[in-house]
Structure 1
């Protein structure tokens, strides 16, 4: 699998062919007169008029964004926000197409995982100075999230205003654990013990559901580093990845061995929606997902049949998690009304709106005032995740979102390869050695281009 810089350019060429499919989306956007790949510097504008906002996960966020937009337009009646909802699975290609062909929005949701690719095409406006000048935001954004999106952008500037983080959570069925006489899965040893004991395949009951479809790589990496205790994605030289360290290989072997022994066979194709729905059916003991599915579990199971804990620790008590992409709002360079667009970003990231959005999503607010609101204390998984993120009890392994090829490597190139590991067609070592080779090559190219 060739993970070269040409691969990224090839992806952009391919997505440009899909321009006709997104004309309906781009018709109301700000850059209809061109402006791909940084060719249009846009204008500050009057601070009034219309702006277009692309929501990067319309399937689960549309309603709350419409509420925030209504609040915004009430406070700023001279600004109208045109909402365009885009499914999370296709938002990367939509941005790539608009960058190449014109039609970018004024404001868009940009998660850390896709940030480097958009920054690399010179499509986003740096927003650090605007944050500093904002009385609503300066000093009120989580420092860790700010640093995370700075690193993800691959440059020194801040290219998106962080809005939320959604750390990995181990959800477990408290009623099933109690019936089986099991302790909470707070360590990996207890996790594996529970996965085995709660499985009765003859009765279609399983201890765990493993993610084998879309999004599987990040979850597998989380399980690997959590068990191995390795705390850095790169070695001391910064040129070789640790993904294929023997301790990670051993951890992945143990983790993937759960498939079909303590998990449903359908897991090999399950993305997060299918995995969550399967767990919510009530016949599976444990699920790894993020904070975003908390309310789904409450709706399906009620608040008393499950808990959500930070990822398990090693037997020595060390907790290591890989970074989860911080979500944020980007100001696009081609905007003809950056002043109004920034007013919307500032409003959405401020205390009240950020709290409202994150309460709906069950995520950790980036706004430090919002993070102190009562709902955070009442939503146990969010509270525990926030404490793990900010309290010093957890070491975060930063994934290399800054690599332009990261999304290609972690999705297109290796999700099918991970399925082969689950099916026993490829060894864990062979898979991780191949992944390491791709990552090392991408890192070397990035370092060369960054000189």
Structure 2
């Protein structure tokens, strides 16, 4: 969930404003890669759906699919769970070699990559002529439009999240510590809660899959830089960000477990839920996991720490959505499923399970949205003027490749001491600057 703001005019990066949300208080799949234009089909038969967070959200999707099939007995949904860390590579493989689904979950972080390969159907007109018309948070729609890099939308938005700092209230109370609402208090707590000999640590850092966005969140959060671009160059390797990342990386093996170097979000969340670690940086999506493991009385979730000037800076979280694949031989049935999944009841059910913000306007007014403390606090801070969002360039087709395949291994080198924070950020900046130039050249064409 984000009150995203434009990072630079010509990239036209607009995104979801949380204020807009709160103010409302028979063929399975295409046979080849892009699949040509596919067909509308009969609106009956079997369709294939790929869940882009398989395993984590399987239960709620199975419930939604059961509801859909009860109302549409002539359509069978084949559910395929795909782990979030594997989803882009699985899409790329299917585009190249065949076997794309009819419908798939697509995150904004890799949406442009799929759109650039001509694998997704534009859905703007379908939304306008459906029951979803006027029912989706407008700036969430703008966000997926921008992320796709074209004039139409290639994903029906379903949810958005927000960076969250979770902390163990029981451990903080026992150590007589204040809540980690500022970076100074965060570092003090990380140190005081660490007793490595007894396997107690103040923080758990994300060193494996998905580490880059969290590292950038810590860098920009401390540096106070609020723009991702300055002219034609990224601010990623600004000296203030370098110094901030050095301080953050210094926590590794000092106030964090050594095993954190391989932590993806699942390992990180599981470790925090079952151990005696003081703090965890993730997003709203893991809130329900923490409730199940710890109970609401043992932890709280707050937005990222405030900077020295009283302003909170966080990097944007991508909006998630559902895409209709161009090669589908039964687009009519596939669209019925997307329309149902993005409807009030289904969208509310999914987001309540995930602890995320709904894209459906009516779902965003449901009582549970304010009943969840991290969601409520995140919403408040993003609308009270204390938070600035640094818009990550999801619109770059190479964003996910750069931020994952090419730089996650480098960040591990930084943690292990074989690469400096400056070298890491300089490499990242060079790749981003080159990708931006290429994107602008393509846009001119």
- TM-score, shorter chain, exceeding 0.5: yes
Residue aligning to 1:356: 349
Residue aligning to 2:155: 160
Alpha-carbon displacement from aligned partner over 1:390-420 (angstroms, at most 9, x marks no partner): 5554222111112121112111111111112
Aligned partner of 1:91 among 69, 82, 87: 87
Please give the secondary structure, in 2, of the residue aligned with 1:278.
helix
Q: By how many angstroms is 1:287 displaced?
A: 0.4
Residue aligning to 1:283: 276
Aligned partner of 1:429 among 419, 422, 426: 422
1:27-426 matches, cutoff 5 A: 29-32=28-31, 34=32, 36-37=33-34, 40-135=36-131, 137-235=132-230, 237=231, 239-389=232-382, 392-426=385-419
Residues 1:391 and 1:55: Cα distance change in structure 2 (over 3 Å) = farther
Answer yes or no: is the 8 Å Cα contact 2:27–2:46 preserved in 1: no
Please give the secondary structure, in 2, of the residue aligned with 1:58.
coil
Answer yes or no: is the 8 Å Cα contact 1:211–1:270 preserved in 2: yes
Please give the secondary structure, in 2, of the residue aligned with 1:103.
coil
Answer yes or no: is the 8 Å Cα contact 1:126–1:157 preserved in 2: yes
Task: State how far apart, in whole Å, the 2-side matches of 1:350 and 1:228 are.
Answer: 40
Answer yes or no: is the 8 Å Cα contact 1:45–1:337 preserved in 2: yes
Q: Mean alpha-carbon deviation: is it higher for 100-109 or for 158-167? A: 100-109
Task: State how far apart, in whole Å, the 2-side matches of 1:196 and 1:60 are.
Answer: 32
Q: By how many angstroms is 1:147 displaced?
A: 2.0
Q: By how many angstroms is 1:170 displaced?
A: 0.2
Task: State how far apart, in whole Å, the 2-side matches of 1:314 and 1:117 are.
Answer: 34
Task: State how far apart, in whole Å, the 2-side matches of 1:394 and 1:369 are.
Answer: 26
Residues 1:322 and 1:273: Cα distance change in structure 2 (over 3 Å) = same
Q: By how many angstroms is 1:265 displaced?
A: 1.4
Task: State how far apart, in whole Å, the 1-side matches of 2:58 and 2:149 are.
Answer: 30
Answer yes or no: is the 8 Å Cα contact 2:27–2:330 preserved in 1: no
Please give the secondary structure, in 1, of the residue aligned with 2:233.
coil
Residues 1:225 and 1:143: Cα distance change in structure 2 (over 3 Å) = farther
Residues 1:145 and 1:387: Cα distance change in structure 2 (over 3 Å) = farther
Please give the secondary structure, in 1, of the residue aligned with 2:296.
coil
Q: By how many angstroms is 1:339 displaced?
A: 1.9
Aligned length, in residue pairs: 419
Task: State how far apart, in whole Å, the 1-side matches of 2:383 and 2:59 are.
Answer: 29
Residues 1:389 and 1:107: Cα distance change in structure 2 (over 3 Å) = farther
Task: State how far apart, in whole Å, the 2-side matches of 1:242 and 1:306 are.
Answer: 34
Answer yes or no: is the 8 Å Cα contact 1:207–1:262 preserved in 2: yes
Residue aligning to 1:24: none
Q: By how many angstroms is 1:28 displaced?
A: 6.4
Q: Mean alpha-carbon deviation: is it higher for 336-345 or for 386-395? A: 386-395
Alpha-carbon displacement from aligned partner over 1:321-352 (angstroms, at most 9, x marks no partner): 11112110001111122222111111100110
Please give the secondary structure, in 2, of the residue aligned with 1:258.
coil
Answer yes or no: is the 8 Å Cα contact 2:27–2:45 preserved in 1: no
Answer yes or no: is the 8 Å Cα contact 1:29–1:104 preserved in 2: no
TM-score by length of 1: 0.89
Answer yes or no: is the 8 Å Cα contact 1:364–1:386 preserved in 2: no
Task: State how far apart, in whole Å, the 2-side matches of 1:132 and 1:312 are.
Answer: 40
Q: Give the gaps of 5 or more residues in structure 2.
A: 1-25
Task: State how far apart, in whole Å, the 2-side matches of 1:268 and 1:69 are.
Answer: 37
Answer yes or no: is the 8 Å Cα contact 1:30–1:103 preserved in 2: yes
Task: State how far apart, in whole Å, the 1-side matches of 2:27 and 2:385 are.
Answer: 45
Q: By how many angstroms is 1:175 displaced?
A: 1.1
Q: By how many angstroms is 1:144 displaced?
A: 3.0
Alpha-carbon displacement from aligned partner over 1:166-185 (angstroms, at most 9, x marks no partner): 21110001111112221111
Please give the secondary structure, in 1, of the residue aligned with 2:321.
strand
